[in-house]
Structure 1
């Protein structure tokens, strides 16, 4: 039976002794050593033999909430509590931590959203482009082609950049359209301010406002916006009304 702090003080132990005993008790628990009460620690007694509590069986509902790795981690932790050998208990806790880390790691089912660097796309940006397209004299098919092309441009944005790493000819191959159709689509997107094309050598670099779409570390977003404003905005034509 555990002895209260009041009883320990009555036996002559001061608050500093009791606090030190609690520190030792906590260290023993973390190391997986056999449990000792405060009275046993203060009096120098060894741990008494206590029945080991078997790991608790998880219900189907608990398994569904934790998953298999979470259940394995819990069982390893419980086994460490019931282990008398401190070294074995420490190894069990070590492996339990590894299982917990695996349980928290996202599982890739079909698509890897993180391996290639996720792309953020602003809803306001898409809404603005759709509104501008509706104000043009483009046919519904041309508007749909423009949105599909814009999506492909955003898909291939450079890392921490506002420039698409695909040329117009490469976009033709990706979308399966004729070069003249792509030229008309890019001209439409440029006319409404969705993209900007800048002459670079023999090709035109396709750029996009990083406030609308960005690929990379969000903490570097401001730098990309500053570069875009310095290098592109002054060259961009006013969108058609």
Structure 2
């Protein structure tokens, strides 16, 4: 997959799936606008990307839940590169919260996962139409698999899937494709940021892997490969689709075993 001279804007690029996407696109020759809240991590990712492609990424400290940051992100990207070919909406917040937990957790996830993604997409659309570009939304398998312990997160990802479908219908006639990638468990720092230590986190993912049909969990690099494919010309006839990459989690536990 070749992205030479293509401008790719990635939110949540300072770690995890966003970092893996940045490195994947860098290896494919893309010009990168990387957005994140952790400046130290973001600069490290940008340096790695530059080593791969020779092009220095634009690193933007921004929080997409803040409207002014969103406006600034798109303006700086256009000022620096003159266009946007691909928008990867990866930024997201996961908090361990159910229906009886404080509403602030719901508000925080909604602000980033839905409202922030909506806003930055809205600002990027005019430029994507000019470029005949495309959007890849990083959703989750829990948009379609209920997990009560993270109910608000599930709800935000379900909203992101519908956002993908509506956008695809709206933007298709204008030459812009929109797709979603729905990862299952990926061993990133998401749960660690919720206070889970390394030992518990690793044991949890070992238990999850043992229960999945493929007996493993996906890596951030696996997800980045799928994101890059959907953003490439090889996927020129794909739009409005959700693409599960969950090692079979969505299949559920079989009622009968051989």
Name the TM-score, length of structure 2 as normaliser.
0.22
Q: Which one has a larger percent strand, Structure 1 or Structure 2?
A: 2
Name the TM-score, length of structure 1 as normaliser.
0.23
